[in-house]
Structure 1
Amino acid sequence: MWRRRKLGKKSQPGLEDFRTQRREQETALRKARREQQLISKRLLRDLTDSDGTLEENVHSPFSEQQVLQLVKEIHHGSAEKLKSLIALRHSLRNKDVQLMFVRAEGSMRVLIGLFTCQFANLQMEAVRCLHELSNSDDQVVCKACLPATSYLLTYLSGSSPEFMELCLYTLGNLIVESEDARNQLLLQGIIPAFALCTQSPHVTVLEGIGYALSQLLQAKEASEKIVPIVLQSGLIQDILRLLLCRSEDGFGMMIEFSWCLHYIVSSQVNNILLISQGVLSSLMNLLIKLAGLVTKTSIPGIELLLCPIVRCLGNLLVEDDSSGNKAQIQDGRLLVALFVLLQQFQKEHSFIVKECLWTLNNITADDPVVSSAVLHLNLLPVLLQFFGHTKDVIVLVLTVLCNIADFGPAYCQCLQEKDILSSLTHLLGSEDVLVTIRCLDLMNIFLHYCPEAEKDILVHSVLQIPEMHKDHPEIQQRMEAIQNYCKPMIKDDNEELHP
């Protein structure tokens, strides 16, 4: 985050204007990032296919008459009831059959009746049928499942991990359907039920809770209706406990809960409270640990865990310094961890590179200690190698360099010693407007704090901007500022040439 800093009396008026523009652009980007959603439905087909029977019904869906016959059999049948349920479950993989079933008179009442009966095998098949229906993208089908939600929540205290997992993923699928469905679940106590489930010893159940909770936390009304309840429920401490578990089997569960935490932080309901509850320090320690692991061993899919963790840190670190996190940031371990991840994932998983640079941007924006550490630990070459990366990455690197340079002459001098201006000259030919703007921002900072940089700028012909950019208003503003800095030198040169 580019944050306002008080400049001395010699401040060039244009610098504050440019900072304001950068801050507005980053605010818009942060809003867009918060609104990105991963809402999706999941179907536990690996479980539902375990019996391996009647698979042909997926390809040969039942007719309406056959569906009605199945409803009749599961309602009145006895010995064949389980077989009929299995046949129904397979046929429900067809969208047309789903609609035919929910529209059949009394069908859902019969199915829910079997779901709540005392026979475990019938209950299991009934919840598998509900799970198939919950995966539908038809609101009519999903709405028909809502009468089962209170029972789904009740059975989360059951003893069968497989049964509980199916209930959780069915709830997760139904959560995304409508605000009315979510309101119903909130009234039925879904948050306390999830909190209770986090005590389960079964990793599959915990992963299911993480999935369902993440669906709930992405709702448009989450910040007003859902996150406050989560904060009051004690779930945050449970999430932290599960995130810090050392079980290799819990990797998927950790990914789910890290996204839950990301959505809670992004809601900005009460991030100061989260910091006071140890979320920031716990995530920092976890990231430092993971950064150490990736240098020693290959962990498939670890980038899926790193992404939400780094995002959480990036958002929490822009909170007011009064939250007391400054000392934690300045101990250097977080900085080193971010650079380790930048190097590890520079060739693949560029989204991790961008997340790390975003967080680096936030911790250098208003902290000369961290910015000094980047220079004195010789971490600058790692940043400069990303000038050959994608335009989004280049913009983030340039923004970090602006943060560092803005602390004054000594910082600018260190950057100049790494031949930054020469690199900027090449980037000015970029077709991307924002890359050009960031280059000019950095040049203006150099010229303000280090007037001797004028000669280097003129030697490298950095005033030559591609024609396609010259009419852009923000580029024009920055070019005028640079020309104002350089006018005295240009005048002196002209007087030497024409005495």
Structure 2
Amino acid sequence: MWRRQQGRFRPVFCGVEELRRCRREQEAALRKARREQQLISKRLLREDIPEEAGGVAAVLGEAEIQQFLRQAQQGTEEKEREKALVHLRQGLQHPETQQTFIRLEGSMRTLVGLLTSNQALLQLEAARCLHELSHSEQPVVAEACLPATSYLLTYLSGHSSDFIELCLYTLGNLIVGSEAVRRQLLPQGIIPALTACIQSPHVAVLEALGYALSQLLQVKEAPEMIIPSILASALPQHVLRLLQPSPKLSPGVAVEFAWCLHYIICSQVNNALLITHGALSTLGLLLLDLAGAVQSTEDTGLELLACPVLRCLSNLLTETAVEDVEGQIEFGDERIVAALFILLQFFLQKQPSLLPEGLWLLNNLTANSPSFCTSLFSLDLIEPLLQLLPVSNMVSILVLTVLCNIAEKGPAYCQQLWPGPLLPSLLDILNSSDTEVVGQSLELLQLLFIYRPEAVQAFLQHSGLQALERHKEEAQLQDRVHALQKTALHG
């Protein structure tokens, strides 16, 4: 989750242009914060549970590791060799065994030899041993796996979907485990390998691929060294294809690739290219599909997809004027706004922490588009929007920001905002102790006073000046309070 930047002291302002400038500076900080990425994590595939074999697997010493490797390499029966690798793999679940293994001379060479053998069961168990090593938090362990990376890439073009899935998760773990691994994987052709793999018909493979790609997109050097190459490949088109709403859309695959798209957009390398490929259209249709889904199912897992979809749309819209892309998605269609409010109601009931995600998108939709502001009136959505104010300070700030977007469009829009339930809501907010929430309400009042003089009289009649008084000594608010008092009393 992104964090809001702390508000800064700002000088007195009275004009609409000054209001707009100050608020856009604030929103620039918010947009920057929105691009914070998820924490990188690793995933572990384990089909067997050590406890089922009579207890937790023991830590292995050098002699035991050497014995299992020797049995796996020189055993007379395949089952015996496979069993030796199973014991080794279970031992490698312990960090102590991992450290011992990589220090042991020739151990990785032997394991890679088994990985490249012509016996499928031994290959699979050797790959599972590498997978355990890839899950280590120690970069030195990931770097010890360097000799295996080229083979893992090669096997992505194989025929066994289970084996390909295992290789992808292992590569995904290694990618974030060590910069040295990434330096080797790029010239080895990881991007072409992933591009070829994304055309797999197997859902499990695609989900694993989405994980590996998302790991690659999150590393610190991605914007400079990785994402330009990815954008030059066919991967973005395939990602968007896999996000197209259809009966065949896999939720797990969609979640993985929606986050991939989010990381690409956050890099700001070439978002215009994504829009050219139809990213806005795909995301808009996916938003409509999600709104329909939350109305017909109790599956709370839908928020896992809604979050990256909302972020992708929000961040794309910060860089491209809505008017410039209306032809790619029916942005003028009230369905988009209606769908977003369906999701907001769903979040309110099931996942309140995601409300800021939806409101941030609404903010970006209304910031530069009078038609979206009009949709809020035509669909009678101002009151449902105000009902979100008590949820949290962050939600309050974003709701007020959306209302400011509407108010700054001029007198006709302020006339529809006022009168109505807005005045009681703003008076309640002035009783708040949160400086940022109160500050945003002051900006909305300033716009209303400028464009809707009748609002001043109503504000005065409902003890608005007394509500302002409590904030006149607060350093971050006193100048704005003074400006608003001046406007209210002298016009």
- State the TM-score, normalizing by the size of structure 1: 0.90
Shift of 1:412: 1.1
Residue number in structure 1 paired with 2:126? 126
Equivalent pair of 1:203/1:249 in contact (CA under 8 Å): no
Measured in 2, the distance between the counterparts of 1:21 and 1:112 equals 60
Equivalent pair of 1:197/1:209 in contact (CA under 8 Å): yes
Residue number in structure 1 paired with 2:195? 195
Are residues 294 and 421 of structure 1, via their aligned partners in 2, closer, same or farther at CA, if it must alter by over 3 Å? same
Shift of 1:339: 1.0
Shift of 1:160: 0.8
Equivalent pair of 1:272/1:323 in contact (CA under 8 Å): no
Residue number in structure 2 paired with 1:404? 406
Counterpart residue identity of residue 82, structure 2: L
Q: How many residue pairs end up in the alignment?
A: 475
**DSSP 3-state at the match of 1:262:** helix
Residue number in structure 2 paired with 1:40? 41
Are residues 183 and 434 of structure 1, via their aligned partners in 2, closer, same or farther at CA, if it must alter by over 3 Å? same
Residue number in structure 1 paired with 2:279? 279
Are residues 71 and 323 of structure 1, via their aligned partners in 2, closer, same or farther at CA, if it must alter by over 3 Å? farther
Shift of 1:236: 1.3
Measured in 1, the distance between the counterparts of 2:473 and 2:182 equals 50
Are residues 108 and 464 of structure 1, via their aligned partners in 2, closer, same or farther at CA, if it must alter by over 3 Å? farther
Q: 1:428 aligns with which of 427, 430, 445?
A: 430
Are residues 178 and 142 of structure 1, via their aligned partners in 2, closer, same or farther at CA, if it must alter by over 3 Å? closer
Residue number in structure 2 paired with 1:70? 68
Counterpart residue identity of residue 430, structure 1: S
Shift of 1:199: 1.1
Residue number in structure 2 paired with 1:8? none
Where in structure 2 are the equivalents of 1:349-498 lying within 5 Å? 349-464=351-466, 469-488=471-490
**DSSP 3-state at the match of 1:387:** coil
**DSSP 3-state at the match of 1:330:** coil
Shift of 1:78: 3.3
Residue number in structure 1 paired with 2:17? 16
Measured in 1, the distance between the counterparts of 2:33 and 2:322 equals 26
Shift of 1:53: 6.4
Equivalent pair of 1:444/1:478 in contact (CA under 8 Å): no
Equivalent pair of 2:245/2:286 in contact (CA under 8 Å): no
Are residues 119 and 52 of structure 1, via their aligned partners in 2, closer, same or farther at CA, if it must alter by over 3 Å? farther
**DSSP 3-state at the match of 2:298:** coil
Equivalent pair of 2:245/2:285 in contact (CA under 8 Å): no
Shift of 1:296: 2.0
Are residues 274 and 167 of structure 1, via their aligned partners in 2, closer, same or farther at CA, if it must alter by over 3 Å? same
Measured in 2, the distance between the counterparts of 1:74 and 1:389 equals 60
Shift of 1:440: 0.3
Are residues 225 and 171 of structure 1, via their aligned partners in 2, closer, same or farther at CA, if it must alter by over 3 Å? same
Residue number in structure 1 paired with 2:8? none
Tell me whether 176-185 or 208-217 shows the greater mean CA deviation: 176-185
- State the TM-score, normalizing by the size of structure 2: 0.92
Equivalent pair of 1:276/1:323 in contact (CA under 8 Å): no
Measured in 1, the distance between the counterparts of 2:264 and 2:44 equals 25
Equivalent pair of 1:54/1:87 in contact (CA under 8 Å): no
Are residues 13 and 384 of structure 1, via their aligned partners in 2, closer, same or farther at CA, if it must alter by over 3 Å? closer
Counterpart residue identity of residue 72, structure 2: I
Shift of 1:93: 0.7
Shift of 1:26: 2.1
Residue number in structure 1 paired with 2:55? 56
**DSSP 3-state at the match of 2:42:** coil
Sequence identity percentage: 51
Equivalent pair of 1:395/1:434 in contact (CA under 8 Å): yes
CA deviation profile, 1:233-262 (whole Å, cap 9, x unmatched) = 111111112112635672111110111011
**Gapped regions of structure 2 (runs ≥ 5):** 1-12
Shift of 1:13: 4.5
Are residues 464 and 151 of structure 1, via their aligned partners in 2, closer, same or farther at CA, if it must alter by over 3 Å? farther
Are residues 484 and 469 of structure 1, via their aligned partners in 2, closer, same or farther at CA, if it must alter by over 3 Å? closer
Residue number in structure 2 paired with 1:9? none
Equivalent pair of 1:57/1:91 in contact (CA under 8 Å): no
Measured in 1, the distance between the counterparts of 2:394 and 2:291 equals 23
Q: CA RMSD in A?
A: 2.1
